[in-house]
Amino acid sequence: MNWDWQRNTLIFIINLLLVLIQTSFLPAVFPQILSPVLPFSIALSFLAVKKIKDSYFSAFVGGLLLDIAVGTILGLSSFVFLVTLLVTRIVQTRFFDNFLLYILSSLVFSGVWVLVLLGSLNIIGTSFLIFFVLNYVSFFFLYFIVGRRSGEQKFT
C-alpha cells in the first residue's frame, strides 16, 4: 500500500480543524443534538468524489480526534463513520450513485449518531430533522470544496 504522507497529513489537519470547530464553535451556535458532525461530512465528501482511501482515512482519523476531544469511548465515532461509509460505498458500487444516495447516507448516519452516541431515542421529531438537514448541508458544502479541488464534481 502506498502511503502518501503529504496527503494524509493534510487530511489529518483538515479533520483536526473540523473537530476544533465542532467542539469549540458549534456548541455556542447549536445545541448538542443539532450540531452537525463535520468529520463525517468531510469523509462522505471524499467518498462522493471517488477518493475512497482518503474517505476511509478521514473517517478513521476524524472519529478518533472527535472521541478524544469530546471524551467518548475511543474508536466509537470512527466505527460509526466507517460502517456508514462502507454501506454507502457498497450501494455506490452495486446499485446507484447519485444525489439520493448521499441524502440517504446522511439520514442513516444521523439516525445512528443520535441513537448510539447521543443516547437519544428521539429519532423522529423536529430536532432530528434539523440535525439531519444540518449534516446534509455541511456535507454538501464540504463536497463542493473537495470536488472543486479535485475537479470531480458530479451529481446526477
Q: Which three cell numbers stand for residue 71?
A: 471524551
pLDDT digit string, tens, across residues 6-40: 889 999 999 999 999 989 988 888 776 677 889 99
In angstroms, rounded to a whole number, what is the distance separating the alpha carbons of residues 1 and 45? Answer: 23
pLDDT digit string, tens, across residues 121-134: 655 666 777 788 88
Q: Which of 86, 111, 115, 103 is nearest to 140 (CA)?
A: 103
Over the Cα atoms of the chain, what is R_g? 15
Residue 156 banded pLDDT, cuts 50, 70, 90: very low
Q: Which pTM does this prediction carry?
A: 0.84
Sign of the Cα torsion 62, 76, 30, 133 reads positive
In angstroms, rounded to a whole number, what is the distance separating the alpha carbons of residues 80 and 116? Answer: 9
- Give yes or no for residue 150 having a pLDDT over 70: no
CB atoms within 10 A of CB 2: 4
Q: Which residues lie closer than 8 Å to 72 by C-beta, 6 or more apart?
A: 66, 117
Q: Specify the higher pLDDT residue, 72 or 154.
A: 72
pLDDT digit string, tens, across residues 85-106: 999 999 888 888 887 888 888 8
